[in-house]
Structure 1
Amino acid sequence: MTGRILIVDDVDINRKLLEAKLHAEYLEVLTASRGPEALEICASESVDLVLLDVMMPDMDGYEVCRRLKAAPHTRHLPVILVTALDQPSDRVRGLEAGADDFLTKPVRELQLMSRVKSLLRLKILSDELRIRADTTANILGGADFLAEIGLGGLDGRVVVVDDGAEGFAGHSARILGTEHDCRTVGVEAAFAASAEADLVVVDLATSTFDALRFASQLRSGEATRRVPILLLAAPQDEARIAKALEIGVNDYLLRPIDRNELLARARTQIKRRRYDEGLRQSLRSTVELAVTDPLTGLQNRRFLESHLPGVIERARAEGRPLSILIADIDHFKQINDRNGHDVGDEVLREFARRIRDGSRASDLCCRLGGEEFVVVMPDTEGADAAQIAERMRRLVAETSFECAASAVAVTVSVGLAVFDHRTDDVASLLKRADRSLYAAKHGGRNRVAQLAA
């Protein structure tokens, strides 16, 4: 995973130690020794995450965090406060200032990297949503889709998964019930309850089910994959906590549970959940006619033409990988001629559903027109893009399309192109993907082709 991390600490040796650990994980690092310098860097540079010391002269880390979270340009930049302060009240103060997490010095490498990678993954998805919102605003005349999205973290729908024992889960539920609509359920009912939740709380120490497997299953479910998960854990569970963050748990709280810290962490996760869901709903409701293909529900050529330049500029500026593919249904005219245009429309709708199923949450699927489709894959190297393209090809070819009470065999040819930071622009990237598509057609169809830059 790539990312650009800003380390802010007034002690030179602290910056160098953190920098060495991050470089070892192939992350790009910027440094600052004062709060005002950090604010200036975040305003002018591309930064993915901030590691922020609390005790600094002139402006402490709490104030820097508050200013970052108050500015529209940096409001959603992940911030981890790093300090020798280790009291619950210190953590609560940091969370209330808007920090996404709080690490205590000396920072252990496993703890640091699991947190950094987890927050980077979340930021990649959030960035993609905001880029789409900006694209939509430009298309529709500068409308501000973010201004009316609620950012509050109170009165959430919280599900606490309890194994029936009188332990930390039940204690947490009583605390959370003072600010939220809190339900306590067994693991059998947890999946259905979680689909409507703003936050799910689960105890790592439960003896009647595997908490990590449960979290993994939540992340793999269509209805629950975006619901925040808060894990209750013991200090000696560090390795399992790291695994939990790796599989998609959003946050954790160490026992013994501090009431104020639990409430602060819950508010932070619910606020983020509401923002992301509000953004998705805003995009769905306001953009549908302007940038959505009415037949397939995918975004259309107009959106792609406005969106792709920003994606390419971001990839070039930040040195990130980017791949795109163009998919074309094989012999689509014959499908229309043999079965009629109504069946052809059903094929297009089902084809769109299958390529969505074969893509990831961060990918953008568009219909160019006719039987031609584009998938934009940010942060995706060529080898990974080839696997995604092949998975889409198989999803189409291996099962017939059931249309108008008859089975229609459908295959697709796919052309793949990987962004070259030195030479590519929108036109050249699309042209190379189109040439690759032609090569797939010429090579016999029902295949993936990729031509060199």
Structure 2
Amino acid sequence: MAAHVLIVDSISANRILLKVKLAGAFVQVEQAASAGEALDLLQADLPDLLVLGGDLVDMSALTLCAKIKENPAFAHLPILLVHTDGSRADRIAALRAGADDAFEMSVTTDALLARIRSIMRARNSYEELRLREQAGRLPGLADAMQGFDRPAQVLIAGHSTATGQEWCRQLQRIVPYGLRSQPLPEIMRDMSQFSAPDAIVISLQTALPEDALRLLAEVRARATTREAAVLVVLDENNDSARVNALDLGANDVLSDGFDAEEAALRLDSMIARKRLADRLRKRVDDGLAAAVTDPLTGLFNRRYAMPHLSKMAQHADTQRADFAVMLADLDHFKRVNDRFGHAAGDMVLAEVARRMRRCLSQTDLIARMGGEEFLIVAQTDNAEDAAKIAERLCDAVRTEPVALRGRDIQIPVTVSIGVAMGSEMLKAKKNALPNCAKSHEAIASALIDRADQALYGAKAEGRDKVTLSLPAA
């Protein structure tokens, strides 16, 4: 779907010129001739990018820009001002008003489109994260986003040691960030050894751009630095260098040498967007983790366990390996809830989960399937070894009673376990299972059933026991 761009300018010729420049960006263009009309259009359908031209009939472009940014509904809308004379003062004023960048009307089409591509990449990434976060939002994870405590860390990649140190010195007086500098060649050599900064400022000499562009490409290629904000500083205004830097992944470009005040304003905006994206990304990750994790015990839940078991069956089928599927159920758990309360029962479940997890290797799976029932999937060569693992789990649970925090109560707990071997069901796959159920998902379900039958046997034999399922007929 084409990006939606709103052009605002009171002079129709300017709107037409901007629309022509944007033709190569394959965007859907909408136009407004006044600030009032623009605000109405924003309320009706928020665009992906706002391009402000010359002063409007009802207010200045800077006033409109600031007014838009004050509205929380529009706070993340990217804004370009294309009406300035290209002076430093105009750029500073535009950045202070909340614009992402400012250009003179005579800006080349290539430079303008490169900047728009850079802005839209960031915009699309943010929107994707926001939609994923909203779609996956769970109760308890919808709290307001909290700010970061630590100051942002900024790495200055100067073309020389002296350059980086001087830029650090100038920035240190006006930004609250942690700053350090390192020459370009050293950064390329040491990238794998330092923690990723929040932002990187790269010095690009237009006569010799290779090192700077190579570092930029490397930053975007590495998982550890991919999300860092990047500001490229050109030593002179050069459209080709600007376009190359933006298309290789720079978030922003200082096009006419280093200026501490302008760099600080651009870094403020870039780091704010980066940290917002980090928070959204963490919320998405937390939501995904919560979707497959049991909140009481911290173990995986059934939603994660069943696909994992299917993959284990597929792997074992391919590699001719074996594994054990165990169902563990706490004995007489209802009595614990009835006598001591459900809060005590939760403590017992959490402690039993901790003890069993401690007995297993990192490659084994343990998941809470519901209530007081747990699934264990362990890689093992034979039923004897599987039985030893299950006995070890029983020992860990019964060894000592569970002490209730804040209450002088000790609750003895035991667990019964049923064991089924994956190889038995994989052998039966070719003969016993009907054609429609020969998938590894069906094998996983069948193994759960076999382990469950064995668990009933352990309960029938007096509990606190391990029972192996009988081989398939």
Q: Under TM normalisation by the shorter chain, which class is it?
A: 0.5 to 0.7
2:314 equivalent to 1:332: yes
Call closer, same or farther: CA 1:293–1:144 in 2, change over 3 Å. closer
Contact 1:65/1:99 (<8 A) preserved: yes
After superposition, where does 1:61-210 map in structure 2 within 5 Å?
A: 61-137=61-137, 139-140=138-139, 143-146=142-145, 148-149=146-147, 155-164=151-160, 166-167=162-163, 169-178=164-173, 179=175, 180-187=177-184, 188-189=186-187, 191-192=191-192, 195-205=195-205, 210=211
Contact 1:194/1:227 (<8 A) preserved: no
Q: Give the whole-Å Cα distance in 1 for the aligned partners of 2:243 and 2:301.
A: 37
Q: Give the whole-Å Cα distance in 1 for the aligned partners of 2:303 and 2:80.
A: 39
TM-score normalised over the length of structure 2? 0.59
Please report how far the alpha carbon of residue 120 of structure 1 lies from its aligned counterpart in structure 2 after TM superposition.
0.7
Contact 1:175/1:263 (<8 A) preserved: no
Name 2:243's counterpart in structure 1.
242
Contact 2:152/2:178 (<8 A) preserved: yes
Structure 2 gaps, min length 5:
305-309, 327-359, 367-378, 382-435, 440-473
Q: Deviations over 1:343-389 (max 9, x none)?
A: 9x96999xxxxxxxxxxxxxxxxxxxxxxxxxxxxxxxxxxxxxxxx
TM-score normalised over the length of structure 1? 0.62
Please report how far the alpha carbon of residue 54 of structure 1 lies from its aligned counterpart in structure 2 after TM superposition.
4.8
1:176 partner amino acid: L
Please report how far the alpha carbon of residue 39 of structure 1 lies from its aligned counterpart in structure 2 after TM superposition.
2.0
Name 2:261's counterpart in structure 1.
260
Name 2:26's counterpart in structure 1.
26
Name 2:58's counterpart in structure 1.
58
Contact 1:159/1:193 (<8 A) preserved: no
Please report how far the alpha carbon of residue 337 of structure 1 lies from its aligned counterpart in structure 2 after TM superposition.
8.5
Q: Give the whole-Å Cα distance in 2 for the aligned partners of 1:229 and 1:244.
A: 10
Q: Give the whole-Å Cα distance in 2 for the aligned partners of 1:44 and 1:212.
A: 41
Call closer, same or farther: CA 1:62–1:210 in 2, change over 3 Å. same
* Structure of greater Rg: 2
Contact 1:54/1:62 (<8 A) preserved: no
Name 1:423's counterpart in structure 2.
none
Q: Deviations over 1:291-331 (max 9, x none)?
A: 3467xx999989xxxxxxxxxxxxxxxxxxxxxxxxx9697
Q: Give the whole-Å Cα distance in 2 for the aligned partners of 1:72 and 1:220.
A: 34
Contact 1:234/1:254 (<8 A) preserved: yes
Q: Deviations over 1:265-296 (max 9, x none)?
A: 121112112221222234444x35643467xx
Please report how far the alpha carbon of residue 249 of structure 1 lies from its aligned counterpart in structure 2 after TM superposition.
0.5
Please report how far the alpha carbon of residue 121 of structure 1 lies from its aligned counterpart in structure 2 after TM superposition.
0.8
Contact 2:141/2:283 (<8 A) preserved: no
Q: Give the whole-Å Cα distance in 1 for the aligned partners of 2:48 and 2:113.
A: 14
Q: Give the whole-Å Cα distance in 1 for the aligned partners of 2:7 and 2:301.
A: 38
Q: Give the whole-Å Cα distance in 2 for the aligned partners of 1:231 and 1:404.
A: 55
Call closer, same or farther: CA 1:236–1:136 in 2, change over 3 Å. same
RMSD: 3.9
Name 1:215's counterpart in structure 2.
216
Please report how far the alpha carbon of residue 58 of structure 1 lies from its aligned counterpart in structure 2 after TM superposition.
1.5
Structure 1 gaps, min length 5:
303-327, 350-402, 406-437, 442-453
2:142 partner amino acid: A
Q: Give the whole-Å Cα distance in 1 for the aligned partners of 2:50 and 2:300.
A: 35
Name 2:281's counterpart in structure 1.
280
Q: Deviations over 1:386-428 (max 9, x none)?
A: xxxxxxxxxxxxxxxxx889xxxxxxxxxxxxxxxxxxxxxxx
Please report how far the alpha carbon of residue 338 of structure 1 lies from its aligned counterpart in structure 2 after TM superposition.
3.8
Q: Give the whole-Å Cα distance in 1 for the aligned partners of 2:54 and 2:152.
A: 30
Please report how far the alpha carbon of residue 196 of structure 1 lies from its aligned counterpart in structure 2 after TM superposition.
3.1
Q: Deviations over 1:4-59 (max 9, x none)?
A: 11111111011112212323332111111111222222222141111112522222
Q: Give the whole-Å Cα distance in 2 for the aligned partners of 1:67 and 1:136.
A: 32
Q: Give the whole-Å Cα distance in 2 for the aligned partners of 1:192 and 1:243.
A: 25
Q: Deviations over 1:110-162 (max 9, x none)?
A: 1110011111111111001111232344x42793544x346x9x953111012
Name 1:228's counterpart in structure 2.
229
Of 235-244 and 193-202, more deviation after overlay is shown by: 193-202
Q: Give the whole-Å Cα distance in 1 for the aligned partners of 2:32 and 2:301.
A: 41
Q: 3-state SS of the aligned residue for 1:67?
A: helix
Of 248-257 and 184-193, more deviation after overlay is shown by: 184-193
Of 63-72 and 176-185, more deviation after overlay is shown by: 63-72
Q: Give the whole-Å Cα distance in 2 for the aligned partners of 1:194 and 1:268.
A: 24
Q: Give the whole-Å Cα distance in 2 for the aligned partners of 1:87 and 1:256.
A: 13
Q: 3-state SS of the aligned residue for 2:7?
A: strand
2:88 partner amino acid: P
Q: 3-state SS of the aligned residue for 1:31?
A: strand
Q: Give the whole-Å Cα distance in 2 for the aligned partners of 1:23 and 1:159.
A: 37
Contact 1:53/1:61 (<8 A) preserved: yes
Name 1:365's counterpart in structure 2.
none
Call closer, same or farther: CA 1:13–1:172 in 2, change over 3 Å. same
